[in-house]
Amino acid sequence: MLNLVIACILAAILGFAAHRASICTVRAVAEYTHSGTVYMFGSIVKSALWVFAITVPVFLLAPQTATALTGWQLTFTAMFGGLLFGIGAGINGACAYATMARMVDGEGGMLLTVMGFIVGVLLFVALIGSGALTRPAPTSSPIPALLHLAPYAATLLVALALFELFRLWRSREPGTTLRTAVLSPAYRLSTAALLMGLSGGIILLLFGSAGYTTTFQQTIEAHAGVRPMPTLGRWLVLFSVLLGMLVSTLQRGSFRPDFRPRLSWLRNIFGGILMGLGCALLPGGNDALILYGIPGLSPHALPAYAALLLGIFVALIAMRAIFRMEMRVACRNDMYIADASSDAAKVTK
């Protein structure tokens, strides 16, 4: 019970930080294609790195904790799932994290993305039932076989994490206290990455892999009668992420309910369907890959995430070429810059 309480608190911190920095894999690709910079993608890489900084020292001191790690086999289905999820996220204009963040901000289109996600998972269930697909196959993590490298990796990772913490505190605005830093309306990307990575690493150790998209996917399949319901603990962790995002939007006053029907909602629905199907094929969304799959050295994680990035790139380029729609994202000085006249992920014609 104590482990679950700690995991929920950390999940809320993770959600709060992701919301304050507007972390999003779609924005990361759009930033590169529009601005030629990689601030957002760098923060995503750092998030995974800081998970390692938490887990590797623990694996070194308590090797038995690494034996419980599992992953998923690298298959064409997993790669195709990553590609589909990326295309869907690009069409939707938001990845798993940004969809949740914009939903709690009051965007009605993101609720339709969630509805589309449900349809995508049910399509996966139908394909499994027809025999057209087989379920992803679990496999063991290679981490136990690599523990002889843990002393060197742990030393380097802990040193990097401490240096990053010191750098972020020293480079804060003059007069900034811990309280004002926590309540800042916008976080630096590196700050959010550190909070997300450290929180995700501890959650992984205490609770195991708790991918939020995966929890939702498994719940949909359970209601379809094809697998058991996820544990209550996994749902509480997912709820805590959403709660952290909700606290963030309410505290800074960015909650703006908008449920006016618009043509762009069709993109949200279709994108959500592809994200749901891709999540089931992987399994997992970008959240599970970044914070659990890659740090757990799951064989499918890095190739599938690369396919996911490719899918986002293809979707953004196609929308610009066919529909003259461009997602414009700019980051400056380790901060995400949002246009005041647009929403957080600006799409213009």
| DSSP letter for each residue of 29-65 | HHHHHHHS--HHHHHHHHHHHHHHHHHHHHHHH-GGG
Q: In angstroms, rounded to a whole number, what is the distance separating the alpha carbons of residues 98 and 165?
A: 25
pLDDT of residue 69: 85
- Model confidence at 120, in pLDDT bands (50, 70, 90)? very high
- Model confidence at 37, in pLDDT bands (50, 70, 90)? very high
Is residue 117 within 8 Å of residue 274, measured between CB atoms? no
- Model confidence at 349, in pLDDT bands (50, 70, 90)? very low
Which two three-digit tokens encode residue 225? Answer: 């009668």
Residue 5 has pLDDT above 50, yes or no: yes
Any residues with CB less than 8 A from the CB of 85 and at least 6 apart, and which? 274, 275, 278, 279, 282, 285, 286, 308, 311
Mean pLDDT confidence for 25-42:
93
Q: For residue range 325-338, what is the model confidence (pLDDT) as tens digits?
A: 888 888 988 999 86
Domain total for the chain? 1
The sign of the CA dihedral 168, 173, 174, 177 is negative
Mean pLDDT confidence for 166-181:
88
pLDDT of residue 134: 87
Cite the DSSP H helix spans in 69-188: 76-92, 96-104, 108-130, 150-170, 178-182
Q: In angstroms, rounded to a whole number, what is the distance separating the alpha carbons of residues 269 and 271?
A: 5
Burial bucket for residue 267 (CB in 10 Å: 0-12, 13-18, 19+): buried
Q: In angstroms, rounded to a whole number, what is the distance separating the alpha carbons of residues 258 and 235?
A: 27
pTM for the complete prediction?
Answer: 0.91
pLDDT of residue 345: 38
Mean pLDDT confidence for 169-183:
88
Residue 27 CA to its chain's centroid (Å): 12
- Model confidence at 348, in pLDDT bands (50, 70, 90)? very low
Q: Which residue has the higher pLDDT, 67 or 16?
A: 16
Mean pLDDT confidence for 74-78:
94
pLDDT of residue 11: 94
- Model confidence at 343, in pLDDT bands (50, 70, 90)? very low
| The most confident of 66-80, 113-127, 216-230, by mean pLDDT | 113-127
Q: In angstroms, rounded to a whole number, what is the distance separating the alpha carbons of residues 236 and 238?
A: 5
pLDDT of residue 157: 94
Q: For residue range 202-247, what is the model confidence (pLDDT) as tens digits?
A: 999 887 777 789 999 999 999 999 989 988 888 999 999 999 999 9
Tell me the residue range of the domain where 37 lies. Answer: 2-348
Mean pLDDT, all residues of the chain: 90
